[in-house]
Amino acid sequence: MPDGSLQPLGLPVWRWDTFYIEIVRSIFDGAWDSDAAGARAVNYWWGMRSGAEEIDLVYSPKELMEMDWLDECVEGALPHYDELDVKTHVLMAINGLNTLKGFVK
């Protein structure tokens, strides 16, 4: 940031399904041999292109509160302001989020 502060731009996400599928595939393909002479430790960092690791962007609290969509794996609906409890109303006010779209009192 211009003032010298650090701002996270993303969070690591590990896709364990991709990782384990590739491990099992290597076992079935015969590439996995734990009894091999001179066996060494395996490097499990496959790089970003493998799909086992990804970076998710970080959202600010304001961006999260303005989010009007749910991920496709989530069933349900986002609550309206009137459905939130008192503690949540206070937190929203502290963060200046009580005037966002869809949350008008």
Q: What is the pLDDT of residues 48-73, one digit of tens each?
A: 788 888 888 777 767 777 776 667 77
pLDDT at residue 37 in the model: 63
Note the pTM of the prediction, 2 decimals: 0.41
pLDDT at residue 83 in the model: 87
pLDDT at residue 63 in the model: 78
Q: What would the mean pLDDT of 75-92 be, rounded to a whole number? A: 84
- For the segment 3-50, what is each residue's pLDDT rounded down to a tens digit? 777 767 678 888 899 889 988 998 898 877 666 666 676 777 777 788
pLDDT at residue 56 in the model: 83
- Cβ contact 102:80 at 8 Å: yes
- Cβ contact 1:7 at 8 Å: yes
The answer to whether residue 104 scores a pLDDT higher than 60 is no
**In the structure encoding, which two tokens stand for residue 39, read together?**
């066996």
pLDDT at residue 3 in the model: 76
**CB atoms inside a 10 Å sphere around CB 65:** 19
